[in-house]
Amino acid sequence: MIVAPTLEDLVTLQRTADEAHTRVQRLHDEYGRTSSNEWTENQRTAWHTAWKAWVDAVRDVQEAVTEYAFEQGSVRRMVDADVKKAARHPEPAD
């Protein structure tokens, strides 16, 4: 039996996707935003690996958001917005 994701699961997945995106941005900053033809083979491999991880993480969170919204009978775009807000701007602990 597959357990539907919880809101906490979605927030964790979103943070993973955000962290993967940050890694891609850092590599661009480090290597320069030039054509990948000017990068070394190691740089191209590192960037491609980071980019693939980001794409996979985004896919995972979007699939989970869709499933969660369906299971909860919620509007998908609202769930997506709530997840992004919770992941990127968490409420301070009391």
| Confidence at 4, pLDDT banded by 50, 70, 90 | confident
Residue 47 near residue 40, CB atoms below 8 Å: no
> Could you read off the pLDDT of 68-91 as tens digits, one per residue?
999 999 999 999 999 999 999 988
Residue 94 lies in a domain: no
Q: What would you report as the CA-atom Rg of the chain, rounded to the nearest whole angstrom?
A: 16
Alpha helices (H) along the chain: 7-31, 41-72, 76-88
Residue 2 lies in a domain: no
Residue 27 lies in a domain: yes
Residue 93 lies in a domain: no
> Could you read off the pLDDT of 27-84 as tens digits, one per residue?
999 988 766 578 899 999 999 999 999 999 999 999 999 999 999 999 999 999 999 9
Residue 69: which domain range? 7-88
Residue 48 lies in a domain: yes
Residue 26 lies in a domain: yes
In total, how many domains does the chain have?
Answer: 1
Q: Is the pLDDT of residue 1 over 60?
A: no
